[in-house]
Structure 1
Amino acid sequence: MAKNENQFEEPEIIYIPDEDGNEEEFEVIMKFEVDGSEHKYMMVVPLESDNEEEDEVYAFRYEEEGDDLKLYTIEDEEEWNIVEETFNTLLGELDESDED
C-alpha cells in the first residue's frame, strides 16, 4: 500500500516556526509515500511537550529541494483521511513486527 522510509537510525530533527515566528523542534517519526500519489508525507512529534504521556502527532506533505525542506499543511479532508489511514496501517505493521 505504501512505502515506509522510516529506518532505525539517529532521529531526524526539523524546526518549524510557530505562529509567533519562534522555531520549535520536532522529531520526524515516519516518512512515507501513498500509492497512486506523487506526494511525500511525514509525521512529526514535538521534542518539548507539556504532556509527556501523549504526544500530539502532526502530519505534513513535504517536498525536498536540495537541502531545503518545504512543508505543506494537509487541508483537504480526503487527502487527510488517506494519510491517516496509511499512517495507522504502517504503525500496525511496525507493532506486528515488534511482536515477532
Structure 2
Amino acid sequence: MAHEHHYDDEQYITLINENGDEELFEILFTFESDEFEKSYVLCYPVGEAEDDEEVVVHAYSYIPTEEGEIGELSPVTTDEEWDIIEEVYNTFIQDEEEEE
C-alpha cells in the first residue's frame, strides 16, 4: 500500500545533471514504500511540461530528514523498485486525468 505525501513547500528540487550543472526540477509527487522502507520522489525538469512532448520523469529514492523533508537522493537501481514506481505513477496519471 503506497502512501502519497504532498509537500506544499517542497515543489522544487535542484539536481546536478551529468554535465555538472544545476538543474531545477519540479516535484510531481513523493510516496513511501513500506516494502523497501524508502521514500521516492518523482520529478521532471522545469519548463518541459509546457510542451505536449513526452516529459522525462525522473525517479529517485531518499531517506526523509528528521523534519520530514527530502533528504539525499539515491538512484533507483532495482527492477522491483521501478515496478512500484511505475505502478504509483500510472495511478497518479489516471487520477489526474479523471479530475479534468
TM-score tier (shorter): 0.7 to 0.9
Query: TM-score under structure 2 normalisation?
Result: 0.77
**2:81 corresponds to which residue?**
79
CA distance in 1, matches of 2:34, 2:96: 19
Gaps of 5+ in 2: none
CA distance in 2, matches of 1:4, 1:39: 13
Residues 62 and 70 in structure 2, CA contact (< 8 A), matched pair in contact too? no
Compare relative contact order (CA 8 Å, sep 6+) and give the higher one, 1 or 2: 1
Query: TM-score under structure 1 normalisation?
Result: 0.77
**1:26 corresponds to which residue?**
25
**1:32-74: CA deviations, max 9, x gaps?**
112433110111010133x822321111111233567211111
Aligned residues: 97
% identical aligned pairs = 31
Bigger strand fraction: 1
Higher mean alpha-carbon deviation, 23-32 vs 69-78, is at 69-78
Root mean square deviation of aligned Cα: 2.6
Q: How does 1:51-90 map to 2 (within 5 A)?
A: 52-53=51-52, 54-65=54-65, 69-90=71-92
Q: Report the alpha carbon displacement of residue 90 of structure 1 after superposing the two structures with TM.
A: 3.1
Secondary structure in structure 2 of the residue aligned to 1:92: helix
Gaps of 5+ in 1: none
Q: Report the alpha carbon displacement of residue 23 of structure 1 after superposing the two structures with TM.
A: 0.2
